[in-house]
Amino acid sequence: MPEIVDTCSLASPASVCRTKHLHLRCSVDFTRRTLTGTAALTVQSQEDNLRSLVLDTKDLTIEKVVINGQEVKYALGERQSYKGSPMEISLPIALSKNQEIVIEISFETSPKSSALQWLTPEQTSGKEHPYLFSQCQAIHCRAILPCQDTPSVKLTYTAEVPIPCYLIALVVGALESRQIGPRTLVWSEKEQVEKSAYEFSETESMLKIAEDLGGPYVWGQYDLLVLPPSFPYGGMENPCLTFVTPTLLAGDKSLSNVIAHEISHSWTGNLVTNKTWDHFWLNEGHTVYLERHICGRLFGEKFRHFNALGGWGELQNSVKTFGETHPFTKLVVDLTDVDPDVAYSSVPYEKGFALLFYLEQLLGGPEIFLGFLRAYVEKFSYKSITTDDWKDFLYSYFKDKVDVLNQVDWNAWLYSPGLPPIKPNYDMTLTNACIALSQRWIIAKEDDLNSFNATDLKDLSSHQLNEFLAQTLQRAPLPLGHIKRMQEVYNFNAINNSEIRFRWLRLCIQSKWEDAIPLALTMATEQGRMKFTRPLFKDLAAFDKSHDQAVRTYQEHKASMHPVTAMLVGKDLKVD
């Protein structure tokens, strides 16, 4: 089989050399907004007569490179856009195959490092101490230290379990913790720590279910860190310490599925890893599949189907946003000369899940397919793999059902853009009430609006309320009178659940309600989760009454946004 090339990395490929271990020493300078330190990389040659190697860097200042106590020559190549600059290091001796060498690189990060966000005391809850956090996925570890910044290379970092560079993380701030389980602490600024402990109190139950589904939890501790609002994702599965957004603090534990998702990454993503970002669906599709099984065990099989159908709606939205022929709607993408951050969407999550859910139904049901999933984790633990590796193992595991697998249109599922060729079957029990209420609003005439009242929602859970808005949003815009009446009878503006608030404000802006403009601008800027911030800014920019204000607000807040969020919102608004 030809070598898989990671087109997002400029470093020597794993077939030439492999970083086996990282020992990082660094100091934090909040005044200059830099990290200064030394990365000691233990590198193993994968071929004979290795005389030089190349590492990924991005916006780093290199002071010196030392091998065996002596400085050696190095050269930084030209900057290649989002990929950064290749750093070639000359070795003092030619290495033979499997020979190891320790390379000590003294470096300093840039104040504009795309991997780091620096917060002033005023931007924190406590208002007293500054705060720093990192976010390396997908290709930002190179903006902290020189490395082979590819998921195909796993290394230890004074730890027992090897991880790819994108899972290296750090945080510096005034933090407190609370114990919420036998192997879990929740960390945050003191102003949020009690809320966080309550919100995530079911973590141990989720961990136990995940172990039953995927096998032993190998990482020891499972802690949670609730970050400041500017954190750009719902969660990040850094081993032993999951980073999560404070937008999950709904007060009723209703958004805890994100914790189930990050827990699931301990098996699919962190143990079994996509070899390159072209195969990102292997990380995310399997993780969503496990996440929904965890929630199904906690809240029932009908709830698993309810979430699965909601995910199908999210996939429809992504395909609609990109366009049904856009290459980013393929499950396996080609990221040659494409920044993975630009390609990021719900597609690898939900199209990947849909494929696994379809295979579950095709091959005999959830228990049978969970058997495959556990065997898959056992087979590929501590490895980085491709879609072909996954598919070959699928055929090997179900060798008595090859004729069934051959019925799958693999080319359409894996390599064709748009929605999948087949929609799985879903139990509609919990979704029907959401659809029915949404349809009432969609078909209602002005004379019908008085028929709606607050009791419409009395039997709906917060999850169903969110799905009602998601269903209605797919048919936006609604007449402005409908939106005003909806606020009058349901008072959505008073709801703090971030998912509900997000969909409600999008519905308002798409339906051109000017009163919602300041509320939408506030949500777009008071937190930085890209799932919320990017669509809100795009909707505001598309509304003539708020376009200029959206651009102006972005420019005013750009400096305080996470670097990745600022870059992508700028692209969305066409101002950068």
Q: Which two tokens stand for residue 198?
A: 């309550």
Q: Which amino acid is at 90?
A: S
Please give the Cα distance from 289 to 302 (Å, whole number): 15
Is residue 232 a contact partner of residue 564, using CB atoms and an 8 Å limit? yes
Query: How far does the chain reach from its first CA to its final CA, in angstroms?
Result: 42
Count the Cβ atoms, other than its own, within 10 Å of residue 53.
22
- Output the CA angle 568-115-85, nearest 5 degrees: 90
CA distances from 87 to 10, 14, 303, 377, 510 (A): 9, 16, 50, 35, 48
Binding residues for Zn(2+): 261, 265, 284
Cα–chain center distance at 68: 39
Cross-strand pairs, 373: none
DSSP per-residue codes, 163-199: EEGGG---EES--EEEEEETTEEEEE-HHHHHHHHHH
Burial of 27: CB neighbours in 10 Å, binned 0-12, 13-18, 19+: exposed
Q: Beta 223-226 vs 241-244: how paired, if at all?
A: parallel
Please give the Cα distance from 106 to 381 (Å, whole number): 33
Binding residues for a peptide: 135-137, 232-237, 529-531
DSSP per-residue codes, 479-506: PHHHHHHHHHHH-GGG---HHHHHHHHH
Coil, strand or helix at 222: coil
Is residue 235 a contact partner of residue 245, using CB atoms and an 8 Å limit? yes
Please give the Cα distance from 262 to 227 (Å, whole number): 15
Binding residues: 135-137, 232-237, 261, 265, 284, 529-531
Catalytic residue set: 262, 349
